[in-house]
Amino acid sequence: MDRKKNISMAVIKRLPKYYRYLRELLKSGVARISSKELSEQIGFTASQIRQDLNCFGDFGQQGYGYNIKDLYEQIGNILGLTEEYKMVLIGSGNIGQAVANYLYFEKIGFRICGIFDRNPKLIGLRIRDIEIQDIDFLSEYLKDNSIDIGIICVTKESAQSICDVLTANDVRGIWNFAPVDLEVPADVIVENVHLSESLLTLSCLLNDSTNYKNKSIIDKEE
């Protein structure tokens, strides 16, 4: 049985942050770190870090801490970074171009193989030496190439139809930047990146902080 099926989504979503901080520690030449020291770096409590990591095995030793290189590699394994993932990008507007030009993805095994758009002004242009193809050829391309992940960077009106083409051609991972919730088969995984929702969350927290400050002033005046 896949052990990760019993792990909460909250823990899984914290793993990339561990991975990022451990990478920076490795770059800085740090070889070993305690859960307390890591908590000061990452912002989680030491207890939370130990609980999260214990979900996947025994990585540290009491009084000895974590070997950063080993822990980094083990979390990379848990995140599936021992594999290479072939991806297609649909929509080469501003967001799509930003995704396509982010070199780090390829360094950790996520390779964009094809880019598609319906804008005739963009078709035939290249992003990092990948030619933008007419979206009408997407289905044919998917049939001829084994693709793991589809990146959707189109309008909300077009997103579901693009998603349907992807899933009909055995793409089982969808990275969705369109501001809409997609309907997919049970065996397809969708990770949504709703930029407006993220911004509104920030707005809410800023507003809550302002209200808290104003309340404190009123309390003092009373």
Name the nearest CA neighbour of 69 among 34, 29, 14: 29
95 is known to lie in a ligand binding site: yes
Nearest 5°: the CA angle 204, 210, 213 is 140
| Helices 46-54 and 35-42, packing angle to 10 deg | 110
123 is known to lie in a ligand binding site: no
Contact between 87 and 149 (Cβ < 8 Å): yes
Q: Reduced to 3 states, what is the DSSP secondary structure of residue 171?
A: coil
Contact between 133 and 115 (Cβ < 8 Å): yes
Q: Which two tokens stand for residue 153?
A: 């960077």
Q: Which two tokens stand for residue 102?
A: 């982010």
Q: Which two tokens stand for residue 150?
A: 């589809």
Q: What is the DSSP letter of 62?
A: T
93 is known to lie in a ligand binding site: yes
92 is known to lie in a ligand binding site: yes
Range list of β-strands (E), the chain: 32-33, 60-61, 65-67, 85-90, 110-117, 126-127, 130-134, 149-152, 173-176, 189-192
Contact between 133 and 114 (Cβ < 8 Å): yes
Exposure on the CB side of residue 145, measured as CA atoms within 13 A: 18
Where is the binding site, in residues? 91-96
Where is the binding site for NAD(+), in residues? 91-96
